[in-house]
Amino acid sequence: MTDAPAPLADPHLVYDPVAGNGPKDVVILGSTGSIGTQAIDLVLRNPDRFRVTGLSANGGRVALLAEQAHRLRVRTVAVAREDVVGALRDALTAWYGAGEPLPEILAGADAATQLAASDCHTVLNGITGSIGLAPTLAALEAGRTLALANKESLIVGGPLVKALAAPGQIIPVDSEHAALFQALAAGTRADVQKLVVTASGGPFRGRTRDELANVTVEDALAHPTWAMGPVITINSATLVNKGLEVIEAHLLYDIPFDRIEVVVHPQSYVHSMVEFTDGSTLAQATPPDMRGPIAIGLGWPERVPDAAPVFDWSKASTWEFHPLDNEAFPSVNLARHVGGLAGTAPAVFNAANEECVEAFRSGALPFNGIIDTVTRVVEEHGTPRPGTSLTVPDVLEAETWARARTRELTARTASAEARA
């Protein structure tokens, strides 16, 4: 993970349309979410390239999960919520014919982790949040190629993930990191001057901090270019998502934080850029559509034809780039600070943010209170002890503390606003 992305070492595990060695077996974690549903669309359009063997979901949409399982004819379905197993079995029975065996059902908090280690070629981790860490580690330890859309697992468990990952084993699925991944193939790490991560600016681009004081949840969910789940969409509105991506880029490519820049690009056509030491800059560009990055994650080192829309170059268009307003959106600089602290600090940052997003969605915290509260929790956590090695229990303990402390602070804020 220190040089430009390398192809997989074993060519027999890679789909070869010339040799005709059959479809690549894939497990999709978070199948009923935004990434998962788009991945399934891609798979269904390319049955000669991909075969899904397992699906996992939290359990909030059992009817959709059962439909997906039937359409893909998977071997295994995993669900985190044990209380929905009966409903899932009923939903599966409604889809499968009489006497037709149902897929195996795994249930519980470790179900996705079990599935991630199952027999397959590629695991697409599309789970949202740091609960994706255990499945990420399980997939890597089992030797699977990891198509990583769950940035939080890399951020909170960076050293753990990097210690397990072989060169080329992680293929990033975030649009920004998929763009960097492709551009970096044109050179080596020594050739890289700077990584430039683009941001749409979210729904509040151009607003001052004062103008953000009273924005609503509905305002924050109205992303101008991307269709995503509510947590990621709100993270894009605060630009926390971009801060997480800066940490992720640092961990994936071992580029120092002072050589990772964020620029605002409202059109979301250029997904990121790599500036090389000879003065050239390579930009990866497509219309905003996550099926392209998903296709890179599932298909690499092969490209999947017609995976996503293309530009109509016969039509005039304007592409803009603006500097980031760090005063209105301090989350990126906070993320750089947290990434520099390393240890459990990124886990605290991420967990506090997840709690603050939920508090904002419930009306217990104003929009600006998200970053204000996260900043306070990070400061209270302090600097990690030098010379200590990160462990999974360390991450879990730090997250537990951060969530509890954040709930205390958001409850005080809600109480104060109620009295005002």
Domains in the chain: ranges and CATH: 11-173 (3.40.50.720), 187-207+216-288+311-325 (no CATH), 342-420 (1.10.1740.10)
The answer to whether 229 is a known ligand-binding residue is yes
The answer to whether 152 is a known ligand-binding residue is yes
Rounded to the nearest 10 degrees, how much is the dihedral formed by the CA atoms of 54, 60, 62, 68? -40
What pTM was computed for the model? 0.88
The answer to whether 33 is a known ligand-binding residue is yes
The answer to whether 355 is a known ligand-binding residue is no
The answer to whether 280 is a known ligand-binding residue is no
Q: How confident is the model at residue 15 (pLDDT cuts 50, 70, 90)?
A: very low
pLDDT, position 387? 58
Q: State the Cα–Cα distance between residues 269 and 260, nearest whole angstrom.
A: 19
Q: Rounded to the nearest 5°, which phi and psi values hold at 162?
A: -65, -30
The answer to whether 317 is a known ligand-binding residue is no
Q: State the Cα–Cα distance between residues 109 and 344, nearest whole angstrom.
A: 22
The answer to whether 121 is a known ligand-binding residue is no
pLDDT, position 129? 85
CA distance to 49, 120, 154, 300, 366, per residue, from 238 (Å): 38, 37, 20, 32, 12
The answer to whether 174 is a known ligand-binding residue is yes
Question: Tens digits of per-residue pLDDT, 117-150?
Answer: 999 999 999 998 889 999 999 999 999 999 999 9
The answer to whether 331 is a known ligand-binding residue is no
The answer to whether 241 is a known ligand-binding residue is yes
The answer to whether 245 is a known ligand-binding residue is yes
The answer to whether 254 is a known ligand-binding residue is no
The answer to whether 369 is a known ligand-binding residue is no
Q: State the Cα–Cα distance between residues 14 and 20, nearest whole angstrom.
A: 11
Mean pLDDT of 367-396: 88
Listed range (59-63, 89-93, 239-243, 388-392) with the worst mean pLDDT: 388-392
